[in-house]
Amino acid sequence: MAATLKGNAIVAQSGGPTAVINCSLAGVIQESQKHDAIERLLGSKNGIFGVLNDELFDLNQEDAATVEGLKRTPASALGTTRYKLQDDDYERILDCFKRYNVRYFFFNGGNDSMETCHVVGQLAARENYELRCIGVPKTVDNDLAVTDHCPGYGSVARAITIMTMDAGKDNEASYSTDTVKVVETMGRNTGWIAASTGLAHETEEDAPHLVYLPERPFAAQKFLDDVQGCLDSIGRATIVVSEGLVDENGEYITAQSAADSEFYQDAFGHAQLSGVGDAICKLVEGKLNAKARFNKPGTSQRNCIMAQSKTDAEEAYMVGAAAVEAAVGGETDKMVTLVRESNDPYKCVTGLCPTEQVAAAEKKMPDEYINEAGNGVTEAFIDYVRPLVGDLPKYVRLKRVSA
Amino acid sequence: MAATLKGNAIVAQSGGPTAVINCSLAGVIQESQKHDAIERLLGSKNGIFGVLNDELFDLNQEDAATVEGLKRTPASALGTTRYKLQDDDYERILDCFKRYNVRYFFFNGGNDSMETCHVVGQLAARENYELRCIGVPKTVDNDLAVTDHCPGYGSVARAITIMTMDAGKDNEASYSTDTVKVVETMGRNTGWIAASTGLAHETEEDAPHLVYLPERPFAAQKFLDDVQGCLDSIGRATIVVSEGLVDENGEYITAQSAADSEFYQDAFGHAQLSGVGDAICKLVEGKLNAKARFNKPGTSQRNCIMAQSKTDAEEAYMVGAAAVEAAVGGETDKMVTLVRESNDPYKCVTGLCPTEQVAAAEKKMPDEYINEAGNGVTEAFIDYVRPLVGDLPKYVRLKRVSA
């Protein structure tokens, strides 16, 4: 047992918002209040920017009802950023920590955030400044290494799956118009989000009929054959495509205007995509005798409190609280993980792993989760994702007995 | 009191699907079962197509649980169409009715459907075929004359308002990226859907900050000034635009590729739009120092059972049941209307109006519902729309007391 380290704590939220990142914040706040070691909990405005720019909030001043309300408030209540740290920023971070006697740092984000955690932790160690840095996992992309899954994923999966069910019902109802419906999902480099919609495909009639993931190169003719197959068999196709689809050359399937624009490069050098749904529709309309329209829920999918997964919300809280417990207990340079102990009944607990194991890695969909044709998912994936999403709404279909 | 007219009935669903059109179907089915005058209730597959092509379902064969489940199943369970009737179709419709001894016709749709109801009713009268045609109002666009509002509107308004709140929270959280977020809503010629999002704008911080409606010509420079004003005051802008925005010349604000394509003209000659959200983003990025991204929920907004308005669902059921009652009571060539008797407390009952009053008309947003600047709504509109949408989720915002 480590000696009690007394001091202040900072919590920051980084990367893209989610429907449950504020649950993790509530977990950090409420757990911190239970530990005398943490004298004051400060919130950093807009991710690491607040630390760099001395914009810190005293979270002990917040009303208990507001903290409770965080559990049902989407996006990042502290603000977030995608700012990529420069080499001399790390020293400034440590300076801020020293000035505020910060001994605990909870950084809620994805693999970039874990890298920050790791570098800051190492710097503090070199300077003999006692600091406990714990990463709190968060990303709708579900692409973090080590952890079974990421808080934020279950809710975005639930949202996009229900939105796909609704789009599918619309498509099913619409004779003579909109026979092809494309749903464009988030997922820059991995197909976890798009793949989750496979949960809704229980019978041949049920959308989505085709799902395309960045893990498989997009082959236009093969795709058109798939779509024509659906049109021939059930007269329509509801298709889910991940925003990060690439062709055999690794080029994004997207509108040219987007590909050419500097605006679509963010600070991390990841391409900011636009237009894959539109591009797919144009491909279908240009090559097949079908109409095609796309839905692009965009940021509404990752912040959809209506579709917040109960399991996801609870686990997001749990990882926030576990980070505080771990830090107070003496851990540092670790990220809290989710460990699935059992799938049926579903049981998940928290664990810890070195942040550097998460920092550089990106977990793609494994082969056994993608079907052979590369246009859907496997039962193994459905088993993996179902408990994270929870029960879906039950829609009826008429028997349609001929009169 | 009219003499009892015994015979069969047909119900059909037409036009775009909604989150509650199946509630109206449940209302027609369950109310029909209470009246001996209606011997069999038949469902027409894909709107009027089922009548023209002899594709009718015996709805008495459906399980009671399925009929109950319709109340929570989006889109049109019987299938729908946007087919525009030809002159010789009316005679074929009447022929079908005679063959099946159909004496009751319930047509659930918008103004095109009411025109069909009216013409078929007149034809039957000329031929001395006793027939009672009742229109059941339905449209997310809320553009039907006479009725206070349309079933389907409250739910699409609730869905798009919550999606705008969620997009707004995301935008608020995101420092340095996505400072302008555009939400593209449905609404081809009227701004009712886009306008409803005004409900969420309670403080200057709350999205949406700007709302643009087809009722006001879109002036690009004025728009850019509005956006810059938001960026100057709160550092971001969440903007709602209706898909049907037009410029001073009446030209749609949309991607050129869409405007040039024959695919974007449907059978009624209404332009099928695509790309206004994208176009607005390109305008912002081209002219202002800001990033812009759009969400286009598309058909997910009109079929969103998660956001189904309780009032809307109840009223949709009510107009279905009222149509049956009116027809059995001797009425014909009428549409059921919603009559708001009181706003606080909200009380709404059904009425009847001649279908021809609805057939040709399109109800735009009245001037008193649009603010003077043409970029938002008035309190009068908020009072009108609030009871239709119901209570919105409450999201919290931190006090952010400086440390």
Interface mutation target, options A174, A181, A256, A394, chain B, most CBs of B under 10 Å: A174
Residue B250 domain boundaries: 157-305+365-389
Quick count: other Cβ atoms within 10 Å of Cβ A91? 12
Of B13, B65, B177, the CB nearest to A82: B177
- The answer to whether residues B43 and B50 touch, using CB atoms and an 8 Å cutoff, is yes
Of A46, A396, A402, the CB nearest to B57: A402
Please name which of A184, A190, A209, A212 lies closest in space to residue A279, comparing C-alpha atoms.
A184
Q: Is residue B48 part of a domain?
A: yes
Tell me what pLDDT residue A25 has. Answer: 98
Confidence of residue A2 (pLDDT cuts 50, 70, 90): low
Give the length of chain B. Answer: 403
Q: Residue for token digits 């009718």? A: B56
Q: What would you measure as the largest C-alpha separation in chain A, in angstroms?
A: 83
Q: Is A167–B76 a contact, with Cβ atoms under 8 angstroms apart?
A: no
Å from B367 to nearest chain A CA?
A: 30
Same domain (yes/no): A172, A295: yes
List the catalytic residue out of A87, A88, A95, A141: A141
Q: Is residue B266 part of a domain?
A: yes
Q: Is A80–B401 a contact, with Cβ atoms under 8 angstroms apart?
A: no
Confidence of residue A267 (pLDDT cuts 50, 70, 90): very low
Quick count: other Cβ atoms within 10 Å of Cβ B217? 16
Å from A1 to nearest chain B CA?
A: 31
Nearest CA in chain A to B158: A306
Q: Report the distance separating Cα B219 and Cα A331, nearest Å.
A: 58
CB pairs under 8 A between A and B: 264
Interface mutation target, options A84, A278, A400, chain B, most CBs of B under 10 Å: A400
Q: Is residue A2 part of a domain?
A: no
Quick count: other Cβ atoms within 10 Å of Cβ A369? 22
Of B79, B82, B293, the CB nearest to A298: B293
Q: Report the distance separating Cα B12 and Cα B77, nearest Å.
A: 10
Active-site amino acid positions of B: 141
Q: Report the distance separating Cα B331 and Cα B327, nearest Å.
A: 5
Please name which of B39, B28, B106 lies closest in space to residue A403, comparing C-alpha atoms.
B39
pLDDT at A256 over 80: no
Q: Is B75–A181 a contact, with Cβ atoms under 8 angstroms apart?
A: no
| Strand pairing class (B38-44; B56-58) | antiparallel
- The answer to whether residues A364 and A144 touch, using CB atoms and an 8 Å cutoff, is no
Tell me what pLDDT residue A102 has. Answer: 98
Same domain (yes/no): B202, B90: no
Tell me what pLDDT residue A273 has. Answer: 41
Confidence of residue A366 (pLDDT cuts 50, 70, 90): very high
Tell me what pLDDT residue A282 has. Answer: 81
Q: What is the pLDDT of residues B326-345, one digit of tens each?
A: 999 999 999 999 999 999 99
| Strand pairing class (B334-343; B132-137) | parallel
Interface mutation target, options B400, B401, B402, chain A, most CBs of A under 10 Å: B400
Q: What is the number of structural domains in chain B?
A: 2
Q: Both tokens of residue A366? A: 């494994």
Same domain (yes/no): B43, B80: yes
Q: What is the pTM of this model?
A: 0.94
Q: Is A396–B17 a contact, with Cβ atoms under 8 angstroms apart?
A: no
Q: Is A72–B395 a contact, with Cβ atoms under 8 angstroms apart?
A: yes
Å from B15 to nearest chain A CA?
A: 8
Same domain (yes/no): B72, B130: yes
Q: What is the pLDDT of residues B247-296, one digit of tens each?
A: 888 888 865 433 333 433 333 344 334 478 988 888 888 889 899 999 99
- The answer to whether residues B59 and B36 touch, using CB atoms and an 8 Å cutoff, is no
Q: Is residue A398 part of a domain?
A: no
Q: What is the CATH number of the domain that holds A200?
A: 3.40.50.460
Tell me what pLDDT residue B279 has. Answer: 83
The interface pTM score, or ipTM, of the predicted complex is 0.94
Nearest CA in chain A to B46: A175
Same domain (yes/no): B35, B130: yes
> Which element (helix H / strand E) includes B221?
helix B220-234
Q: Is residue A401 part of a domain?
A: no
Same domain (yes/no): B227, B327: no
Of A172, A266, A278, the CB nearest to B177: A266
Q: Residue for token digits 């449950």? A: A20
Q: Is B45–A400 a contact, with Cβ atoms under 8 angstroms apart?
A: yes
Q: Is A69–B394 a contact, with Cβ atoms under 8 angstroms apart?
A: yes
Chain A residues within an 8 Å CB radius of B74? 166, 169-170, 395
Q: Is residue B66 part of a domain?
A: yes
Tell me what pLDDT residue A327 has. Answer: 98
HEC string of chain A equals CCCCCCEEEEEEECCCCCCCHHHHHHHHHHHHCCCCCEEEEEEECCCCHHHHCCCEEEHHHCCHHHHHHHHHCCCCCCCECCCCCCCCHHHHHHHHHHHCCEEEEEEEECHHHHHHHHHHHHHHHHCCCCCEEEEEECCCCCCCCCCCCCCCHHHHHHHHHHHHHHHHHHHHHECCCCCEEEEEECCCCCCHHHHHHHHHCCCCCCCCCEEECCCCCCCHHHHHHHHHHHHHHHCCEEEEEECCCECCCCCECCCHHHHHCHHHECCCCCECCCCHHHHHHHHHHHHCCCCEEEEECCHHHHCCHHHCCHHHHHHHHHHHHHHHHHHHCCCCCEEEEEEEEEECCEEEEEEEEEHHHHHCCCCCCCHHHECCCCCCECHHHHHHHHHHHCCCCCCCCCCCCEC
Q: Report the distance separating Cα A100 and Cα B158, nearest Å.
A: 45
Q: How far is CA A67 from CA A22, A48, A63, A135, A139, in A?
A: 9, 21, 6, 21, 21
Residue A344's contacts (CB-CB under 8 Å, 6 or more residues apart) are none
Q: Is A295–B299 a contact, with Cβ atoms under 8 angstroms apart?
A: yes
Of B65, B307, B398, the CB nearest to A66: B398
Å from A28 to nearest chain B CA?
A: 15
Q: What are the backbone dihedrals phi and psi of residue B245, each rounded to the nearest 5 degrees, phi first?
A: -60, 135
Nearest CA in chain A to B75: A170
Mean pLDDT of A235-254: 90
Mean pLDDT of A108-133: 94
Quick count: other Cβ atoms within 10 Å of Cβ B263? 17
Span of A285-289, B164-168, B344-348 with lowest mean pLDDT: A285-289
Same domain (yes/no): A51, A63: yes
Q: Is residue B397 part of a domain?
A: no
Confidence of residue B1 (pLDDT cuts 50, 70, 90): low
pLDDT at B348 over 50: yes
Q: Report the distance separating Cα A125 and Cα B312, nearest Å.
A: 61
Interface mutation target, options B22, B44, B296, B300, chain A, most CBs of A under 10 Å: B300
CA angle A84, A187, A78 (to 5 degrees): 50
Mean pLDDT of A130-134: 97
Q: What is the pLDDT of residues B373-390, one digit of tens each?
A: 999 999 999 999 999 999
Chain B residues within an 8 Å CB radius of A398? 43, 57, 59, 62, 66, 77-78
Q: Both tokens of residue B68? A: 């109950």
Q: Report the distance separating Cα B304 and Cα A165, nearest Å.
A: 9
pLDDT at A274 over 80: no
Span of A131-145, A168-182, A253-267, B312-326 with lowest mean pLDDT: A253-267
pLDDT at A261 over 70: no
Q: Is A166–B397 a contact, with Cβ atoms under 8 angstroms apart?
A: no
- The answer to whether residues A156 and A302 touch, using CB atoms and an 8 Å cutoff, is yes
Å from A328 to nearest chain B CA?
A: 22
Same domain (yes/no): B111, B206: no
Same domain (yes/no): A382, A239: yes
Q: Is residue A395 part of a domain?
A: no
Confidence of residue A1 (pLDDT cuts 50, 70, 90): low
Interface mutation target, options A71, A300, A301, A392, chain B, most CBs of B under 10 Å: A300
Chain B residues within an 8 Å CB radius of A299? 166-167, 170-171, 178, 181, 293, 295
Q: What is the pLDDT of residues A227-243, one digit of tens each?
A: 999 999 999 999 999 99
Same domain (yes/no): A217, A344: no
Q: How far is CA A205 from CA A177, B65, B77, B242, in A?
A: 17, 20, 13, 32
Span of A245-249, A307-311, B345-349 with lowest mean pLDDT: A245-249
Q: Report the distance separating Cα A78 and Cα A65, nearest Å.
A: 16
- The answer to whether residues A380 and B33 touch, using CB atoms and an 8 Å cutoff, is no
DSSP annotation of B128 reads T
Q: Report the distance separating Cα B95 and Cα B352, nearest Å.
A: 27
Nearest CA in chain A to B290: A263
Å from A250 to nearest chain B CA?
A: 24
Identity of residue A114:
M
Of B178, B275, B307, the CB nearest to A306: B307
Same domain (yes/no): B139, B45: yes
Q: Which residues pair with B10 in a beta bridge?
A: B42, B105
Q: What is the CATH number of the domain that holds A335?
A: 3.40.50.450
Mean pLDDT of A18-40: 98
Q: What is the pLDDT of residues B70-103, one digit of tens each?
A: 999 999 999 998 888 898 999 999 999 999 999 9
Chain B residues within an 8 Å CB radius of A208? none
Mean pLDDT of A150-177: 94
Chain B residues within an 8 Å CB radius of A79? 172-175
pLDDT at A125 over 70: yes
Tell me what pLDDT residue B247 has. Answer: 86
Q: Report the distance separating Cα A119 and Cα A91, nearest Å.
A: 10
Q: What is the pLDDT of residues B144-172, one digit of tens each?
A: 999 999 999 999 999 999 999 999 999 99
Same domain (yes/no): A212, A66: no
Span of A301-310, B192-201, B264-273 with lowest mean pLDDT: B264-273
